[in-house]
Amino acid sequence: MAAAVLTTAIAACLLAPLLWPLDQSAVDLAGTRLAPSWAHLAGTDELGRDVAHRSLYGLRVSLLVGAVAALVATVIGGLVGAVAGTVGGRVDRVLMRIVDTIAALPHLLLGIFIVAMLRPSLGAVILSIGLTHWLSTARIVRSELLSLRTRPFIDAAVSGGASRIRVLTRHLLPHVLPRLALATTLMVPHAVWHETALSFLGLGLPPHLASIGNMINDGQRSLLTGAWWSSIVPGLVLVAVTLALAVLTDRWRDRLDPRVRAELNL
Partner 1 sequence: MTAPTTQTMGGTGSSAVPSAGLAAHQVSLSFGRQSVLDRVDLHLAPGETVGLRGPSGSGKSTLARVLGLLHTPDAGHVTFDGRPVVGARHRLPAAIRTRVAILFQSPRAATDPRLSLADIVAEPLRATGTGKDEARAQAAELAELVGLTPDLLTRRPHAVSDGQLQRACLARALVHRPAYLLCDEATAMLDASTQAHLAGVITDYQRQHHAAVLLITHDPALMTRWATRVVDLPPPAGS
Residues in contact with partner 1 by CB under 8 A are 151-153, 155-164, 166, 170-171, 174-175, 262-264, 266
In angstroms, the CA 128 to CA 132 distance is 6
What is the full DSSP assignment across 187-203?
Answer: HHHHHHHHHHHHHHTT-
3-state secondary structure of 36: coil
CB of 179 to partner 1, least distance (A): 14
CB of 21 to partner 1, least distance (A): 48
Q: Please, which residue, 84 or 245, has the CB nearer to partner 1?
A: 84
Q: Which amino acid is at 237?
A: V
Q: Please, which residue, 89 or 160, has the CB nearer to partner 1?
A: 160
In angstroms, the CA 76 to CA 135 distance is 9
Helix count (H) and strand count (E) of the chain? 11, 0
Q: Please, which residue, 126 or 173, has the CB nearer to partner 1?
A: 173
Q: Please, which residue, 6 or 168, has the CB nearer to partner 1?
A: 168
Phi, psi of 209 (to 5 degrees): -80, 135
